[in-house]
Structure 1
Amino acid sequence: MELRRIQYFVTLAEYLHFSQAADNLYISQSSLSYHIAELELELGVQLFVRNKRKVSLTKVGAELLPIARDILAKVDELTLTADEQNKRDKNSMMIHICFDTSSQRFDLFGIDAAIVKMRDLYPEATINCSQSSMEEILDGLACRNFDVGFITLRHGEKLPSQFNVLPIHIDFLSMVSIFEIYPGNLTSAFDNSPLYLLKDDIRWGNKILSLLKDLGVSPRVKWENSFSSMLTRVTTGEGITVIPHSEFAAECQSRKSLKALDFHSDEAKIYSCAVWCEANSNPAILPLIRHIRSDDTGFIKEGSIF
């Protein structure tokens, strides 16, 4: 039995006029007549007496009307209770967010603003943020130590199917130096300068070395402990580094001497992504994701970037 037909029955009983009841329900008179007839067929009783002049309730229709009203009232109560519980859940919810250490500038992609928005909307919620390696983030998501992770994936890189992956920003890698670098002088540039990479980011270091190898370059590598010290080495002319273009653009605001040569191959594309476990039912996850990406791109299953 369809709930809407019970609503149609109650409304027609109030108006006792098909045209007026149909207008109130925003349906056609013929549609209302059809659904009332179907409800009578389901119940096996006649609810209304119809003639050209008026519509009236039958005896059984009058007996069933209070029951129908009670059903609709219970539905309203159910909806109200669910809404109140949802509000309580969101106000008392706790969400653990972890950022991938391989990216320094997740703030460029609206994540910081989304977290602030969440705090404004749910002031009683507890939002914990931390930073870790991609491997530790995935382990933490799988065992529910983290609810949402923000990680950087390489082109074509996939995660296990237990994770939902939503790209929030597509970027590409850039070679960065204070000297002019162009395709024709790459070999000489790296003959004179080492390549600085992050010590704790071997995964990305190997990717960068592979890209340079495709260009016929095998640089001397020096490993730095922090992003800041690595950029200082480059800014003072000690060497070259490779970082996401968005981070280069942000650093240029304060390090105006920096110059970049962009990689243009698909292999140089990188993806800043929100990741969460498929089985995690924390009610805070989807509101956070919606605030980051208001344009609904949908979830990308099987961990695929495309």
Structure 2
Amino acid sequence: MELRHLRYFVAVAEELHYGRAARRLYVAQPGLSQQIMAFEKELGTALFTRNRRGVALTDAGAALLPAARDILARAEAAVQMTRRYGAGEAGQLTISLTRSAPRGIVTELLDTFRAAHPAIEVRVTSGFTAHDEQRLRERSIDAALVRMLDDPRGDLADRTVGEEAIVAAVPSADPLARKRRVRRADVTDRPLVWWPREHGPRMWDRMLDEVFGEGVRPPVARWEPEEEHMLHAVAQGHGITFITEGRAAALHVPGIAVRRFTDPAPTVPITLAWSRDNPNPALHRFLEHTADDDT
């Protein structure tokens, strides 16, 4: 059974006139009649009765009509769905967020994309930058919102989508907590609570460069695996630390005072990264969306 035969059958069944059905289908009437007869032969039963007054459905034809309409509707829906997936108007997109991703920038980006492309299922996960770079190359994720790529080889592309301020986290009883803003000179020679460089080498370097000056690497008094542990160590009096402003707002640790720096404030980027040869059309829609947001 061919879809073409079903289309011809439905047109004749709805028009009950070969001439009108042929004009509707943009085919010649003799050819349409031949196709209907071939279809009846394939089914082994007549679908229409023909007389001087016109055309009428047989019982078999009347039984076939709703099923034929349903099959054609489903076929058209399948075609449209395939086209939408191919054009990136539907599909799936998996995005990983760095754990320190600022809610404002990232939330707005994802929310506006979801609103513009409701047929694309956006799956969100999280991870460290180095892990996300591996997952981009393995295609287990389509894109990652990271701070900075650690291994920016030619197979990965990236685009800065925002900047976020670095803030100082100090014990509540520390004299720096009484200041509205701190200077870079205020944090020099203070015990530092910090995180392992292997979690994000370029971000690690960028934050220290922004606060202390390029290439300056102060001694670390205490190492912690991530921001929440760092803040608890600061609250216990082991030193001070630096985190992004958005992350500071998300973490509420008693005994901590968060202070902005005086201008020009140190900042770090939020970067969208993806594999250059990822063919997912939904990814390319997302890239177009972020490019539009930049303009």
TM range (shorter): 0.5 to 0.7
Match for residue 173 of structure 1 among 163, 166, 171: 166
TM-superposition CA deviations, 1:205-250 (whole Å, max 9, x none):
4444455365977343311133222223334544211112343455
Alignment of structure 1 residues 244-283 onto 2, 5 Å: 244-248=244-248, 257-261=257-261, 264=264, 268-283=266-281
Q: 1:295 and 1:284 mapped to 2: Cα distance?
A: 17
Match of 1:186 in 2: 187
Cα distance change on mapping 1:106 and 1:163 into 2, 3 Å? same
Q: 2:164 and 2:183 mapped to 1: Cα distance?
A: 20
1:196 aligned to 2:220? no
1:163 aligned to 2:156? yes
Q: 1:202 and 1:273 mapped to 2: Cα distance?
A: 13
SS in 2 for 1:271: strand
Q: 2:256 and 2:169 mapped to 1: Cα distance?
A: 12
CA contact (8 A) 1:186 1:217 kept: no
Cα distance change on mapping 1:254 and 1:233 into 2, 3 Å? closer
Q: 1:202 and 1:281 mapped to 2: Cα distance?
A: 27
Give the superposition deviation at 1:253.
11
1:131 aligned to 2:130? no
CA contact (8 A) 2:129 2:200 kept: no
- Please, what TM-score do these two structures have when normalized by structure 1? 0.53
SS in 2 for 1:96: strand
Match of 1:218 in 2: 218
CA contact (8 A) 1:118 1:288 kept: no
Give the superposition deviation at 1:277.
1.4
Alignment of structure 1 residues 13-28 onto 2, 5 Å: none
Give the superposition deviation at 1:293.
6.0
- 5+ residue gaps, structure 1, are 1-65, 71-79, 298-306
How many residue pairs match? The answer is 210
Match of 2:147 in 1: 152
TM-superposition CA deviations, 1:39-87 (whole Å, max 9, x none):
xxxxxxxxxxxxxxxxxxxxxxxxxxx9xx99xxxxxxxxx99865333
Q: 2:293 and 2:90 mapped to 1: Cα distance?
A: 27
Match of 1:61 in 2: none
Match of 2:42 in 1: none
Cα distance change on mapping 1:110 and 1:133 into 2, 3 Å? closer
Q: 1:292 and 1:235 mapped to 2: Cα distance?
A: 38
Cα distance change on mapping 1:236 and 1:221 into 2, 3 Å? closer
TM-superposition CA deviations, 1:70-109 (whole Å, max 9, x none):
9xxxxxxxxx9986533355686232222234xx234221
Alignment of structure 1 residues 1-306 onto 2, 5 Å: 84-88=81-85, 93-101=91-99, 104-111=100-107, 114=110, 118=114, 121-122=117-118, 126-153=121-148, 159-178=152-171, 179=174, 180=176, 181-187=182-188, 190=190, 194-199=191-196, 201=199, 203=201, 204-210=203-209, 211-212=211-212, 218-248=218-248, 257-261=257-261, 264=264, 268-290=266-288, 294-297=292-295
CA contact (8 A) 1:96 1:148 kept: yes
CA contact (8 A) 1:141 1:148 kept: yes
Q: 2:216 and 2:93 mapped to 1: Cα distance?
A: 46
Give the superposition deviation at 1:148.
0.8
Cα distance change on mapping 1:167 and 1:270 into 2, 3 Å? same
CA contact (8 A) 1:110 1:292 kept: no
CA contact (8 A) 1:111 1:292 kept: no
SS in 2 for 1:247: helix
Identity of aligned residues (%): 14
The code of the aligned residue for 1:243 comes to: I
The code of the aligned residue for 2:183 comes to: Y
RMSD of aligned residue pairs (Cα, Å): 4.2
Give the superposition deviation at 1:147.
0.7
Cα distance change on mapping 1:296 and 1:183 into 2, 3 Å? closer
Give the superposition deviation at 1:131.
2.3
Give the superposition deviation at 1:283.
1.6
